Chain A
Amino acid sequence: MLSSHQNVCSVRGDFTERVILHVDCNKFYASVECLHRPEIRDKPVAVGGSVEKRHGIILTRNEIAASFGVKTAETIFQAKQKCPDLVIVPPDFPLYTRFSGLVRNICMDYTDMVEPFGLDESWLDVTGSFLLGNGMEIAEKIRSRVREELGITVSIGVSFNKVFAKLGSDYKKPDAITEFTKENFRQKIWPLPASDLLYVGRATGKKLHNIGINTIGDIALCDPEILARHLGKMGYVLHSFANGTDTSPVVASENASAVKSISNGTTLPRNLCDTKEVALILMILSESVARRMRDQGFRCTVVSVSVRDSFLFSITKQAAVSPTDITEEIYAKVLDLFTNGYEWKNPVRALSVCVSGFESADSCFQLDLFHDEEHRQKLSRLDSAMDKLKNRYGSMCVRPASLLQDTDITDLNPYDDHHIHPVGFF
């Protein structure tokens, strides 16, 4: 029996060519803020974190701020030096998440094959949507609908694979559509700098430059063995990307691979100088990751803690644990890793806690001879009661009393404030 995809392709008489769109919201956070605040729309605007809490970097900026040279990820201080009249607005992630969903809903009107890549980007496979138009026609409909219905702009790349579609959405901005076909990609894509290709960052770009490769065309025409000699397995991958032979499918979000790890981290409002203070933050982070893990119905078998000191030097320590989803046990292990692994050469600037090695919370597991199982079950019931309270009345409604010792540093809510970052392409 033919699959639905084959049926569709046979109707078109075309088994080989996919139609992939990459939809990228232009200056997403800044566009959403400017839409909601008409009074700042014609001013240079940047969305930035709180300077007092030392989250003071530019998350995104509008076109006017960009024309002053304000860049994403630079400090607010640096940005203000370039553009003294820069309007800084604090981020409103629930609003961005809502808009991201609205953009995705528009995309879902044209295909169910929508793969989100962070909050502001999605890939769409519209191969089977030919009754609604060809790739360019669907892209035009999405572009104009997002503009009229949501008041923000998107740039869209149309191509026959995901990598070129993403290149297309970066090629012309804002509010534009670019198509790379099998006929034109050599003329349009190959002259572009190698760094424009997905997975060519600063380090890879430098390595390529050192062997005389500066454009995507250079990568495409280079012997893949030479690339592999310098870049390892990624050499073959980049060669395939540059030649348009990437076949990775668009994976609809409901079919996305299972969660592999859950983590929360924070940069602290001030540097911490003793273990007692660090313990408070580790408790908050452990609570958040444990609750998120329980939401997903997992138990973890690996716990890790990352510490960044005031000189921006980072270390990560991890350990195996008996399968657990109990906050207290995760916290105890995290604290143990920190106290045994951090030498206090410098004050602590940032902390993060990660759990991984998941198994289902319903699966059987080996009990530990030396643990009091009755006590564990009590802790588990306590977590479950706390989760119910927090789900109903908000994450801050019940907290350990120890967190009231220093509300300057413990006033954070990682459970609700964690944001969606793009997952890896692979």
Chain B
Amino acid sequence: MTYKKVYIDVITHFDKNGTILPLRILWEDGTEYDIDRIIDIRPAASLKAGGCGIRYTCMIKGHKKYIFLENQRWFAEGKAI
């Protein structure tokens, strides 16, 4: 399966210590998804979509998904058609 880099809008929470936590993402088709839980945050490369940044491993509707904060922009790994 091939993947593409999908830039997304993200509603985030900045806490007083400067930690950034994504709360909700807006997919390219307009659908909004709540992030149920963040299970890991670390710098990582996305070999599937191409790029690197801070990788947030999120639980969204029971699925584990990665979203990346790269150079002030958020992206996710989308399936290429």
In the complex, A37→B42 CA distance in Å?
Answer: 22
- Is the pair A37, B50 in contact by a Cβ cutoff of 8 Å? yes
* Chain B residues, CB < 8 A from A102: 52
Interface: A39 (CB within 8 A): yes
- The yes or no answer to A13 lying at the interface (CB within 8 A) is no
Q: For the complex, what is the distance from the CA of A141 to the CA of B23, rounded to whole Å?
A: 32
Which of B42, B43, B49, B71 lies in contact with A38, CB distance below 8 A? B49
**Are B52 and A35 within 8 A (Cβ)?**
yes
Instruction: Decide yes or no: A39 and B51 within 8 Å by CB, A150-B45, A151-B46 being known contacts.
Output: no
Q: Is A229 an interface position by the 8 A CB rule?
A: no
A148 touches B51 (CB 8 A): no
B47 within 8 A of A: yes
CB of A151 within 8 A of CB of B3, answer no
Q: Mask for A247-286, Cβ within 8 A of B = 1, else 0?
A: 0000000000000000000000000000000000000000
A183 within 8 A of B: no
Contact A38 B44 (CB under 8 A): no
Residue of A nearest to B4 (CB): A38
Closest Cβ–Cβ distance, residue B54 to chain A (whole Å): 10
Interface residue? B64 (CB, 8 A): no
Chain B's closest residue to A151 (CB) is B45
Task: Give, as a whole number of angstroms, the nearest-CB distance from B6 to chain A.
Answer: 13
Interface-centre pick from B3, B49, B52 (highest chain A CB count, 10 A): B52
Q: Is the CB of A35 within 8 A of B48?
A: no
Are B2 and A38 in contact (CB-based, < 8 A)? yes
Q: Are B45 and A148 in contact (CB under 8 A)?
A: yes
Task: Tell me, in angstroms, the Cα distance from A39 to B47 when the chains sit together.
Answer: 11
Interface residues of A in 357-411 (CB under 8 A from B): none
Q: How far is the CA of A38 from the CA of B49 in the complex (A)?
A: 7
Interface residues of B in 54-74 (CB under 8 A from A): 71
From the candidates B3, B42, B50, B71, name the one contacting A35 in the complex (CB within 8 A).
B50
CA distance A102 to B47 in the complex (A): 17
Nearest chain B residue, comparing its CB with the CB of A33: B50
Checking A35, A37, A39 against B45 with a beta-carbon cut-off of 8 angstroms, the contacting residue is A35
Alpha-carbon separation in the docked complex, A36 to B46 (Å): 9
For residue B44, which residues in chain A have a CB less than 8 angstroms away from its CB? 148-149
Question: In the complex, which residues of chain A have a beta carbon less than 8 angstroms from the beta carbon of B3?
Answer: 38
Minimum C-beta distance from A344 to chain B (A): 48
A-side contacts of B2, CB under 8 Å = 38-39
Minimum C-beta distance from B40 to chain A (A): 13
A315 to B45, CA, bound (A): 47
A152 to B48 CA separation, bound complex (whole angstroms):
13
Bound CA span A342–B45, Å: 52
Chain B residues with CB below 8 A from A98, complex form: 71
- B47 near A35 with CB under 8 A, answer yes
**What CA separation (Å) do A151 and B43 show in the bound complex?**
11
User: Using Cβ atoms and an 8 Å threshold, which residues of chain A touch B71?
Assistant: 98
In the complex, A151 Cα to B77 Cα: how many Å? 15
Q: Are A38 and B47 in contact (CB under 8 A)?
A: yes
**Looking across the interface, which residue of chain B has its beta carbon closest to that of A152?**
B45
Which B residues from 1 to 16 make CB contacts under 8 A with A? 2-3
Within 8 A of B (CB), among A35-92: 35-39
Instruction: Identify which of residues 140-154 in chain A touch chain B, using a CB-to-CB cut-off of 8 Å.
Output: 148-152
- B77's closest neighbor in chain A, by CB? A38
Q: Is the CB of A35 within 8 A of B51?
A: yes
Give A36 to B51 CA distance when docked, in angstroms.
Answer: 5
Contact B48 A38 (CB under 8 A): yes
Q: B45 contacts A36, CB within 8 Å?
A: no
Q: How far is the CA of A38 from the CA of B47 in the complex (A)?
A: 7
Q: With both chains docked as a complex, state the minimum distance between the C-beta of B19 and any C-beta of chain A, in angstroms.
A: 19
Write out the residue numbers on chain A whose beta carbons fall within 8 Å of the beta carbon of B50.
35-38
Which B residues are in CB contact (< 8 Å) with A150?
45, 52
In the assembled complex, how far is the CB of residue A362 from the closest CB belonging to chain B, in whole angstroms?
A: 36
**What is the bound-complex CA distance between A267 and B18, given in angstroms?**
47
Task: Name 19 interchain pairs, CB-CB below 8 A, sorted by A.
Answer: A35-B45, A35-B52, A38-B2, A38-B3, A38-B47, A38-B49, A38-B50, A39-B2, A98-B71, A148-B44, A148-B45, A149-B42, A149-B43, A149-B45, A150-B45, A150-B52, A151-B46, A151-B52, A152-B45
Other 15 A-B pairs with CB < 8 A, given A35-B45, A149-B43, A150-B52: A35-B47, A35-B52, A36-B51, A38-B2, A38-B3, A38-B48, A38-B49, A39-B2, A98-B71, A102-B52, A149-B42, A149-B45, A149-B52, A150-B45, A151-B47
Report the 5 A-B pairs with minimum CB-CB distance, sorted nearest first. A151-B45, A149-B43, A36-B50, A38-B50, A150-B52
